Structure 1
Amino acid sequence: MIDNLNLDQLRVFTAIAEQGSFSAAARHLRRAQSAVSNAIVNLEAALGVALFDRSGWKPALTNHGRALLDDARAVLARADELKSRALGLTQGLEADLTLVLDAMFPPKQLVALVAAFRQAFPGVPLHLQVDTLDDIPQRVLSGECDLGVQGTLSDIAPALVAHGMHKVEMMPVAAPAHALAKLQDITVAQLGEHTQIVLTDRSASAGGRTFFVVSEQQILTTDLGAKYAMLCAGLGWGFMPRGFVEECICAGRLHELALAEGACPNRNMPLFAIQRRDATLGPAGQWMLNWLVEPGGGQRLPAPHVP
């Protein structure tokens, strides 16, 4: 019966396949060869198929054995993840972690962060949300998110603790065919004569905020991807984070506007990692905070180890 199989039998199965023989697997597992042979006999009986052809001088995987080997490895990997997560929970590790990011957060840095987090805490599901402006601190304050990366806003709610991060360079861009793309030494007055595409938050109708705005004619959007699409379509000009548009500029889809010296001098947007003042971060959350403040710094806090 298949219900009679166990993880030990699967470990023996994969060990034989990887080591090439029953005797090599026994040495690898530090067991008697008879114990290894019995485990395979019992596993084959439970599955109802022959896993190895024993007619030669070395055992060879049967067609059924080759078909089931990847499944056995997958089951063992999931079992190890289960053990790791259970051990982590007993040591105070979070069951999951939710992070809300400002839409301006550099995508390459996000990829590096997620890759490092998965390596450090493979048993902790990471939930990522992307938002803008006032909506980010609200998600952290409500407890919906454990951590946030807040950009642009200079004021931090008293119930939050803020940790300074790097700044994001904002670039003025437009489609190559846009009138501003043909000018040099563009002044603020000239920018103001053209429609500006502006990123805002969902509370704009109730007094929400916008930043880096110099034109009276505006198209407001809560989605950075929509802003990018409208810029490429020539519907206006706008500020975009360098990390989002460098490749687009090189490919000719967008053009960096040549502003006059002194026009819009402060185009760097600060980022802050934020957490609730009354909430204590677990090991994964603290690791994440360290990484955000000093990319790669989270690696100083190792994840729980499962023997």
Structure 2
Amino acid sequence: MPKPPDTPQKARGPTLDQLQVFAAVADAGSFSLAAQRLERAQSAVSYTVANLEALLGLTLFERTRRRPVLTEAGRAILADARRVDTTMHDLQARAAGLTLGLEAEVSLAVDVMFPIDPLVGILEDFARVFPTVTLRLRMEPLGGVLKLVVERECELGISGPLGSWPDAIAPNLLGAISLISVAAPGHPLARRDGRIPTHELREHTQLVLTDRSRLAEGPMHGVYANHSWRIGDLGAKHRLLLAGLGWGGMPRHLVAADLAAGRLVRIRPADRHAFAYSLYLIARADTHPRPAARWLAERITALAPFDWPAPEAADADAPS
């Protein structure tokens, strides 16, 4: 009876201990010094590295010199060994955090109108304080933030104003930003002096930021024009304004450099100076944030009260 073929054996990979001992020798430049740092016998360290070389089929150190020197292959494997070691430490830290009740992930939705500088500062601090927690960030216009929080896709949101909040939402007023009307210098409205009457504004295409979520639908405050372009992206609206394809409202902090450089000109509707666009920290009322989400909420709340910059004679909340 013919002998059945041998079942192929799955190749065994190096152990984390082997990689750590190899890295320790490379760092110390000596088997004996690495053994001291690892509190092991030198023979055990040499044996571990020799086994790793046999397993990989590579010579990692040149041993013809007084001190072991990494070969070209050894330098390449050392980079991989450090990466594996870092990944394992991250895994252990994440597991320890979860054991202590620290969540694996926090999700935050932010209104596109929110100033980026304070947000960047908070996110940098979050990454430093919670290195094992994944932060998922979404930037949305108008009711998009509310939709994500209502539907539990995001735990926290920094949302713009809404006529009335759903019962499921707990809003906390942070402050307001100033929205002003602007146009490119070549636009007919930019060449008008003083206050511009409403009937004249209606004659020119207005660029309006729209709500893709449909949660904030209703009367469009601040929309004058008989012809308007509805745009769901604030960056696209900004580019169209710079191109002179219409006029519209923008957060003053986002167009300050354009105004200073003359790329945009402020225009002044006769019935208002600026809009105060309120911003709120929102979460579902039926949730209890875990440590990282609670820290993030507290840092965002600590920004209040703010004005970026202070609205001048602001009339009402309006996203146009």
Q: How would you bin the TM-score normalised by the shorter chain?
A: 0.7 to 0.9
Residue from 221, 228, 244 that aligns with 1:218: 228
What is the Cα-based RMSD across aligned positions, in Å? 2.7
Residue from 301, 311, 316 that aligns with 1:293: 301
Name the stretch that deviates more: 96-105 or 269-278.
96-105
Are positions 1:267 and 2:275 aligned together?
yes
Are positions 1:277 and 2:285 aligned together?
yes
Q: After the TM superposition, which residues 74-89 of structure 1 pair with which residues of structure 2 at under 5 Å, given as runs?
A: 74-89=83-98
1:44 to 1:251, Cα distance in 2 relative to 1, 3 A: farther
Q: Is the 8 A contact 1:167 1:269 kept in 2?
A: yes
Provide Cα deviations, 1:39-60, integer angstroms capped at 9, x if missing partner.
2222222222111112212211
* Count of paired positions: 293
Are positions 1:245 and 2:255 aligned together?
yes
Deviation, structure 1 residue 197 = 0.9
Residue from 234, 240, 260 that aligns with 1:230: 240
Provide Cα deviations, 1:254-281, integer angstroms capped at 9, x if missing partner.
3131538x85234232211111111111
CA distance in 2, matches of 1:279, 1:167: 26
TM-score, length-normalised on structure 2?
A: 0.80
Residue from 166, 171, 181 that aligns with 2:180: 171
Specify the alignment match of 1:98 in structure 2: 107
Q: Is the 8 A contact 1:188 1:264 kept in 2?
A: no
Q: For residue 283 of structure 1, what is the amino acid of its counterpart?
A: P
Specify the alignment match of 1:59 in structure 2: 68
Q: For residue 154 of structure 2, what is the amino acid of its counterpart?
A: C
Are positions 1:194 and 2:199 aligned together?
no
Provide Cα deviations, 1:211-250, integer angstroms capped at 9, x if missing partner.
4434444221122122112212211111112343334445
Deviation, structure 1 residue 141 = 1.6
Q: Is the 8 A contact 1:171 1:256 kept in 2?
A: no
CA distance in 1, matches of 2:223, 2:251: 15
Deviation, structure 1 residue 61 = 0.8
Provide Cα deviations, 1:86-108, integer angstroms capped at 9, x if missing partner.
22222222232222111212233
CA distance in 1, matches of 2:257, 2:233: 20
Name the stretch that deviates more: 43-52 or 207-216.
207-216
1:227 to 1:58, Cα distance in 2 relative to 1, 3 A: same
Specify the alignment match of 2:314 in structure 1: none
Q: Is the 8 A contact 2:179 2:274 kept in 1?
A: no
Specify the alignment match of 1:142 in structure 2: 151
CA distance in 2, matches of 1:3, 1:208: 64
Specify the alignment match of 2:4 in structure 1: none
SS of residue in 2 equivalent to 1:3: coil
Q: Is the 8 A contact 1:134 1:208 kept in 2?
A: no
1:55 to 1:229, Cα distance in 2 relative to 1, 3 A: same
SS of residue in 2 equivalent to 1:64: helix
CA distance in 1, matches of 2:121, 2:285: 27
Deviation, structure 1 residue 287 = 1.7
Q: For residue 201 of structure 1, what is the amino acid of its counterpart?
A: D
TM-score, length-normalised on structure 1?
A: 0.83
Q: For residue 118 of structure 2, what is the amino acid of its counterpart?
A: Q
Q: Is the 8 A contact 2:259 2:265 kept in 1?
A: yes
CA distance in 1, matches of 2:51, 2:188: 77
Unaligned runs of 5+ in 1: 296-307
1:180 to 1:3, Cα distance in 2 relative to 1, 3 A: same
Name the stretch that deviates more: 5-14 or 15-24.
15-24
